[in-house]
Amino acid sequence: MNKYHFWPEETVKKDGFIVIACTIENIDQTRKKLWYKLPEQYHDRITSSCDPFIVALIFKLMTEPAKLVVHGQVSPSLLQNITEYQAIWQCWRPDYYHSVEINAEIEAEISVDNRPNNPISAFSGGVDSCFTLWQHKKGLCGRWQRNITTGLMIHGFDIPLSQTEVFASAFEKSKRMLSSLDTECIPLSTNIRQFKHQWLDTFASAVISCLMLFQKSYQVGLIPSSEAYRK
């Protein structure tokens, strides 16, 4: 059977930033690097697990009947959950997606003993993310209330990687908004969108992958959404 390989790389520190990367070997043996870049000061919050890489590219992987071999650590809980996740999407789009068998050299959960209960939330500066933060900070979520301490703003999704000045301006505005609610704002860049996949299907898992980079430091990740229960 066709195989993909994921090769995690050593974290690189340069010019005040860190780059977390993984080399993806495709079934035709071509290679491409998936990377995330953020300020060096957040290095201690980043996981060493390969979980984020799998979640980022699961839809790309599912376009071919294949196996994935991860040459690093993966959480058994992720392997269990992503099997069900694939089954759901294969049911929804049987003409396009296939289930992928995932094997890892190391299966181990990350340590959770020292993680605070405060969540990290994706934050774009738009209406949905602003409302999510405001709703939680003002105590309007009932039993779902969480004390959001961190917003993660992602460069490479809505704002292309080539538009560095546009993102810098948007980030400064978001940083001021979050600061007014005693919440820090972390900038993160990634090339996830440059991989070949159906972006409308992939978008949520791409956001989740970025949040999962911080799974070592946060128990909960929130994704603001504009989808209503009633349509």
Residue found by looking up tokens 């959960």 in the block: 109
129 pLDDT more than 70: yes
Least confident of 60-74, 86-100, 117-131, 217-231: 217-231
The per-residue pLDDT of the chain, averaged, comes to 93
Q: Give 111's DSSP letter.
A: P
Those residues whose C-beta lies under 8 Å from the C-beta of residue 62, and which sit 6 or more positions away, are 86, 89, 90, 97, 98, 99, 100
Supply the pTM of this predicted model: 0.93
Q: What pLDDT, in 10s, does the model give residues 40-86? A: 999 999 999 999 999 999 999 999 999 999 999 999 999 999 999 99
Residue found by looking up tokens 């699961």 in the block: 58
The pair of structure tokens assigned to 138 is 């003002």
